[in-house]
């Protein structure tokens, strides 16, 4: 067993040696000239000069190594009442054929493709087929509404859009095609073709010339070989919420990403080739990219692909059934999923129905792991419950208990210590480094390790401004927290306008932009409030234009509908109320942080720049009437 501290120290003091060793886990067509290219900070590049292919490493090499008959994907879909195993041989065949079809239709290295799909294996085939050709994919979460899809179409400029006719979300059937049609109508950029997989429970109306049936599209296509790409070439763009309505297009490269994810499977999750790993998330989120698709497949493990919910499909025993049926060694999900199970089955009675002796560890991330949920899961499962902290931008854990290196004692409330490669520090607003137990901004000293964002797609200026400018020489995480005397990191939450609802990252700024388009609203603020099930929920406070005499309920209902139509149901925007005024600084900045503290029942310091302190009393009364802070 290695020693965490030694491994960590080497990763920080000798990053090039450290990551060159990790890179031996990947097959290269051509080795790199430089492990770390730091010629143009804050843009760092890993493995420059190296040539490889991510799909080859995730699929072909496992077939060549004799894993062809091993399950690559177990597609478990309680919503369609089916379980299907896809071997590495089958995955290879299907991905190569889809890549061949894309090539035949004109897709070339460097093109972009949007994938807007539910949790079906074709989503994985699509991602890997793109990677096979050096085509850059951008997966858009199926819960986003048409305007959000349109924003991403305009920005990513895809040649093709790959999708399905619909999804079953819990007990609801959702049709995707009307959303796609609307998004394409709204977008200025026009895709060449939409390729639609028709699912039996919902049909899609096809537009002649533009829309192609998935099976017709792949029919007769010659399997395509892997195209060698530079390690620094983009693999994918994943849009994530920032503080405005325009999401950030996180760009991930091929080489560093493959090296880091492959390495993390053992170091963090203790997963070897042949093990069964389950990440209960969605391909539309970063967890889905890294740990449903790329991480486990790069490792030669089996990934469980689950189209269902933790509860209601059919009951709160669903997770235990999947673990038992597929011999899952480790599960990764968001704390919300466990809170949902706990709510339905507080005593965990369903677990006794299943033999889950195969199960070795539970990994949670995506939002703060509250101690109640930690103790509940840990008492019930009697295996290590590992909290780990990361972001879409980093693509893998910044802070974790790296069980594959050395399992450290767990402290409830902390995701443990920085993962190798991340030199985590706490600084005050002026950039001064703080000592143990002092709360401040969590930053990471540059360079970030491989696998983290290379830049923001077509927006280097925003990349620098969002992450690299406030604290020169450091990556700004926008999370606040502290490090204790033992080096354990505590993450207290976002210090910007990003919130996490049921482990889904959303922007209150984007919701404000939508609300501001309502003709009766003069101004508004959306704040994140605590929620027992989903961690956080948004609450809107709006000021009506003078002369508007409409009931609060009427306007609220319209705003709720508007946010649902423009952003999507996953925004979970259900609460809003009108206020006479919003608290502001003398320069006119709305004091959202202060309102968040009031809603949470936290002590706050009266901002010295506040224009009129009496407004805070009005806001406190309003939030109290709405039931905040929760008891």
Query: Residue 119 CB, nearest distance to ligand COA (Å)?
Result: 8
Query: Residue 366 CB, nearest distance to ligand COA (Å)?
Result: 4
- DSSP class of 583: -
Residues of span 482-521 touching ligand AMP by CB under 6 A: 491, 493-494, 500, 505
Query: Residue 177 CB, nearest distance to ligand COA (Å)?
Result: 14
Q: What angle in degrees, to the nearest 10, is found between the helix axes of 88-104 and 121-133? A: 60
* Residue 318 binds ligand AMP (CB under 6 A): no
| Chosen residue from 234, 247, 366, 450 binding ligand COA by CB under 6 A | 366
* Binding characters for ligand COA, 223-262, by CB under 6 A (x = yes): ----------------------------------------
- CA–CA separation, 295 and 396 (whole Å): 10
* Binding characters for ligand COA, 273-292, by CB under 6 A (x = yes): -------xxx--x-x-----
* Residue 394 binds ligand COA (CB under 6 A): no
| Chosen residue from 122, 367, 370, 512 binding ligand AMP by CB under 6 A | 367
Residues of span 411-450 touching ligand COA by CB under 6 A: none
In degrees, to the nearest 5, what angle opens at C-alpha 60 toward C-alphas 281 and 217?
A: 70
Q: Which residues of 383-406 are buried (b: 16+ CB within 10 A; e: fewer)?
A: ebbbbbbbbbbbbbbbbbbbbbbb
In degrees, to the nearest 5, what angle opens at C-alpha 138 toward C-alphas 135 and 139?
A: 130
* Residue 377 binds ligand AMP (CB under 6 A): no
Question: Which CB sits closer to ligand COA, 49 or 312?
Answer: 312
* Residue 240 binds ligand AMP (CB under 6 A): yes
- DSSP class of 316: T
* Residue 281 binds ligand AMP (CB under 6 A): no
DSSP 51-118: EE-HHIIIIIHHIIIIITTSEEEEEEETTTTEEEEEEHHHHHHHHHHHHHHHHHTT--TT-EEEEE--
CA dist 621 → 138, 595, 606, 616, 628 (Å): 44, 11, 17, 9, 9
* Residue 137 binds ligand AMP (CB under 6 A): no
Question: Which bin fits 47, alpha (ψ -120 to 50), beta or left (φ > 0)?
Answer: left
Query: Residue 245 CB, nearest distance to ligand AMP (Å)?
Result: 17
Helix (H) or strand (E) holding 363: strand 361-364
| Chosen residue from 295, 418, 447, 503 binding ligand COA by CB under 6 A | 503
- DSSP class of 217: H
* Residue 582 binds ligand COA (CB under 6 A): no
* Residue 395 binds ligand COA (CB under 6 A): no
Question: Which CB sits closer to ligand AMP, 264 or 324?
Answer: 264
CB atoms within 10 A of CB 228: 17
Positive or negative, the Cα torsion across 216, 288, 233, 148?
A: positive
Question: Which CB sits closer to ligand COA, 27 or 169?
Answer: 169
- CA–CA separation, 363 and 79 (whole Å): 24
Query: Residue 366 CB, nearest distance to ligand AMP (Å)?
Result: 5
CA dist 209 → 115, 192, 218 (Å): 19, 9, 16
* Residue 417 binds ligand AMP (CB under 6 A): no
| Chosen residue from 114, 498, 572, 598 binding ligand COA by CB under 6 A | 572
Question: Which CB sits closer to ligand AMP, 491 or 615?
Answer: 491
Question: Which CB sits closer to ligand COA, 133 or 287?
Answer: 287
- The answer to whether residues 495 and 503 touch, using CB atoms and an 8 Å cutoff, is no
Question: Which CB sits closer to ligand AMP, 255 or 493?
Answer: 493
Residues of span 172-211 touching ligand COA by CB under 6 A: 174
| Chosen residue from 295, 310, 415, 421 binding ligand COA by CB under 6 A | 310
- The answer to whether residues 74 and 304 touch, using CB atoms and an 8 Å cutoff, is yes
Query: Residue 628 CB, nearest distance to ligand AMP (Å)?
Result: 21
The item of ligand AMP, ligand COA, none sharing an interface with residue 491, based on CB under 5 to 8 Å by kind, is ligand AMP
The item of ligand COA, ligand AMP, none sharing an interface with residue 278, based on CB under 5 to 8 Å by kind, is none
Q: Spell out the alpha helix ranges (H) of 187-231.
A: 214-218
- The answer to whether residues 291 and 277 touch, using CB atoms and an 8 Å cutoff, is yes
- CA–CA separation, 341 and 315 (whole Å): 9
- The answer to whether residues 191 and 160 touch, using CB atoms and an 8 Å cutoff, is yes
Q: Which residues bind ligand COA (CB under 6 A)?
A: 142-143, 167, 169-170, 174, 280-282, 285, 287, 309-311, 333-334, 336-337, 340, 366, 501-504, 534, 569-570, 572
List of residues contacting ligand AMP (CB under 6 A): 240, 286, 365-369, 387-392, 415, 479, 491, 493-494, 500, 505
């Amino acid at each position: 067993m290695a020693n965490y501290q030694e491994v960590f120290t080497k990763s920080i003091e000798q990053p090039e040696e450290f990551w060159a060793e990790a890179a031996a886990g990947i097959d290269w067509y051509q080795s790199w000239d430089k492990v770390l290219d730091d010629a143009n900070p804050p843009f760092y590049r890993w493995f420059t000069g190296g040539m490889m292919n991510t799909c080859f490493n995730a699929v072909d090499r496992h077939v060549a190594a004799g894993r062809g008959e091993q399950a690559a994907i177990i597609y478990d879909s309680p919503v369609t009442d089916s379980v299907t195993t896809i071997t590495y041989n089958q995955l290879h065949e299907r991905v190569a054929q889809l890549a061949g079809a894309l090539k035949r239709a004109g897709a070339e290295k460097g093109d972009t493709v949007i994938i807007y799909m539910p949790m079906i294996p074709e989503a994985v085939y699509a991602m890997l087929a793109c990677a096979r050709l050096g085509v850059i994919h951008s997966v858009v979460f199926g819960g986003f509404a048409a305007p959000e899809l349109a924003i991403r179409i305009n920005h990513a400029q895809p040649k093709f859009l790959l999708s399905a006719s619909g999804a079953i979300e819990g007990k609801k059937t959702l049709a995707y095609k009307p959303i796609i049609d609307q998004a394409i109508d709204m977008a200025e950029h026009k895709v060449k073709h939409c390729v639609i997989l028709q699912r039996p429970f919902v049909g899609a109306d096809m537009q002649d010339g533009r829309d192609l049936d998935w099976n017709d599209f792949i029919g007769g296509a010659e399997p395509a070989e892997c195209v060698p790409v530079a390690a620094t070439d983009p693999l994918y763009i994943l849009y994530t919420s920032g503080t405005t309505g325009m999401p950030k297009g996180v760009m991930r490269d091929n080489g560093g990403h493959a090296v880091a994810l492959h390495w993390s499977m053992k170091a963090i999750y203790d997963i070897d080739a042949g093990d069964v790993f389950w990440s209960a998330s969605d391909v539309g989120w970063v967890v889905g990219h890294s740990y449903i698709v790329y991480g486990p497949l790069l490792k030669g493990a089996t990934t469980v692909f689950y189209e269902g919910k933790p509860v209601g499909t059919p009951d709160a025993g669903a997770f235990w059934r999947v673990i038992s049926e597929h011999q899952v060694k480790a599960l990764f999900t968001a704390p919300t999923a466990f809170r949902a199970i706990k709510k339905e089955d507080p005593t965990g009675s369903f677990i006794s129905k299943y033999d889950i002796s195969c199960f070795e560890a539970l990994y949670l991330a995506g939002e703060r792991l509250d101690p109640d949920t930690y103790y509940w899961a840990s008492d019930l499962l009697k295996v290590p419950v590992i909290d780990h902290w990361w972001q879409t931008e980093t693509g893998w854990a910044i802070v974790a208990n790296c069980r594959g290196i050395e399992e450290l004692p767990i402290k409830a409330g902390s995701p443990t210590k920085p993962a190798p490669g991340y030199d985590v520090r706490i600084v005050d607003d002026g950039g001064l480094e703080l000592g143990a137990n002092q709360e401040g901004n969590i930053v990471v000293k540059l360079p970030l390790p491989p696998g983290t964002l290379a830049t923001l797609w077509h927006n280097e200026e925003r990349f620098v401004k969002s992450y690299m400018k406030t604290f020169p020489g450091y990556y700004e995480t926008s999370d606040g927290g502290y490090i204790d005397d033992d080096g354990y990191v505590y993450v207290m939450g976002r210090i910007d306008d990003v919130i996490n609802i049921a482990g889904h990252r959303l922007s209150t700024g984007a919701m404000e932009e939508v609300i501001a388009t309502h003709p009766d609203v003069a101004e508004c603020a959306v704040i994140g409030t605590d929620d027992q099930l989903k961690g956080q929920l948004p609450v809107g406070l709006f000021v009506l234009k003078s002369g508007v005499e409409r009931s609060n309920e009427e306007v609220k209902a319209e705003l709720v509908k508007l946010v649902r139509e423009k952003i999507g149901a996953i925004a979970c925007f259900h609460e809003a109320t009108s206020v006479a005024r919003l608290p502001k600084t003398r320069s006119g900045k709305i004091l959202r942080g202060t309102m968040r503290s009031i809603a949470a029942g936290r002590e706050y310091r009266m901002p010295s720049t506040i224009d009129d302190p009496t407004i805070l009393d009005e806001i406190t009364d309003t939030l109290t009437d709405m039931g905040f802070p929760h008891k």
